[in-house]
């Protein structure tokens, strides 16, 4: 697939067909993640691959709790209609973990987010590769990490960048418009 087509054609997918993601496809997705840049090439990421329905159900439960909490706090009305059912429907969930200690030298200069930045680049690579393979996915973060950690077995020294839900799209996703990027020349005014 042409690079521009991949970048502009990728959409978040929240409705999946039941067909599994093959081991070959999974290898390809993880290789795309691994080619992301990272500070000092420290490659701070790892993933938990989830296909077990009981484990997906437990993950959805944590997401439903977050949704209920936001609603109880008077959160935006769309939250009432938002269903994280795709956490159970998607054939493959990849929980993406990173080691915040692997953030390069930025830690000395008040740049504590190097490992997360690298991992985010990796997730985007993975989503683009999924799109090129005819798969689709959504990067999901609508949960309390403190509640999700024990479900996924993430130790306290690692962080969770999100859960990427993957599979074959059941229908086309809406195209959400983008604003032109504000550009300043030489320095901000
Ligand atoms: C860091 C991050 C967190 C996100 N968390 C969620 C989420 O919790 N639930 C969800 O449905 N989509 C989530 N998304 C997807 C965005 O809603 C989506 O990318 C955005 O609306 C633009 O749509 P598009 O990806 O189809 O172009 C997240 C995206 C990013 C980058």
Please provide the distance, in angstroms rounded to a whole number, between the alpha carbons at the two ends of the chain. Answer: 40
pLDDT at 187 over 90: yes
Tell me, yes or no, if the pTM score tops 0.85. Answer: yes
- Judged by phi (left if over 0) then psi (alpha if -120 to 50, else beta), residue 134 lies in left
* Mean local confidence (pLDDT), 139-163: 98
For ligand 1, mutation pick of 8, 9, 11, 12 (most atoms within 8 Å of CB): 12
**Residue boundaries of the structural domains of the chain:** 3-167
Residues 6+ apart with CB under 8 A from 186: none
Band of pLDDT at residue 107, cut at 50, 70 and 90: confident
| Distance from C-alpha of 11 to C-alpha of 131, rounded to nearest angstrom | 8
Specify the ligand 1 atom closest to the Cα of 13: 26
Residues 6+ apart with CB under 8 A from 107: 114
For ligand 1, mutation pick of 86, 131, 140, 160 (most atoms within 8 Å of CB): 140
Residues 6+ apart with CB under 8 A from 94: 29, 47, 48, 49, 50, 126, 163, 164, 166
Band of pLDDT at residue 99, cut at 50, 70 and 90: very high
- Judged by phi (left if over 0) then psi (alpha if -120 to 50, else beta), residue 32 lies in alpha
> What pLDDT score does 120 carry?
98
| % of residues, the chain, pLDDT over 70 | 100
pLDDT at 129 over 90: yes
Measured from CB, residues less than 6 Å from any atom of ligand 1 are: 11-12, 14, 138-142, 162, 173, 176
Return the sign of the alpha-carbon dihedral for residues 32, 30, 122, 168: positive
> What pLDDT score does 136 carry?
97
| Structure-token pair, residue 94 | 């990849």
CATH architecture of 3-167: 3-Layer(aba) Sandwich (3.40)
| % of residues, the chain, pLDDT over 90 | 97
* Mean local confidence (pLDDT), 1-6: 95
pLDDT at 189 over 90: no
* Mean pLDDT for the chain overall: 97
């Amino acid at each position: 697939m042409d690079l521009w087509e991949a970048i502009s054609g990728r959409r978040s997918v929240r409705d999946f067909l039941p067909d599994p993601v093959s081991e070959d496809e999974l290898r390809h997705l993880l290789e795309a993640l691994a080619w992301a840049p990272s500070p000092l090439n420290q490659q701070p990421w790892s993933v938990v691959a989830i296909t077990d329905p009981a484990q997906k159900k437990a993950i959805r439960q944590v997401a439903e709790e977050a949704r209920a909490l936001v609603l109880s706090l008077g959160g935006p009305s769309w939250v009432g209609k938002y269903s994280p059912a795709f956490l159970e429907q998607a054939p493959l969930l990849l929980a993406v973990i990173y080691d915040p200690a692997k953030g390069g030298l930025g830690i000395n200069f008040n740049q504590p987010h190097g490992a997360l930045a690298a991992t985010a680049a990796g997730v985007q690579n993975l989503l683009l590769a999924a799109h090129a393979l005819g798969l689709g996915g959504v990067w999901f973060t609508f949960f309390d990490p403190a509640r999700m950690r024990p479900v996924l077995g993430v130790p306290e020294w690692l962080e969770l960048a999100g859960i990427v839900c993957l599979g074959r799209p059941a229908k086309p996703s809406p195209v959400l418009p983008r604003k032109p990027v504000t550009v300043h020349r030489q320095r901000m005014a």
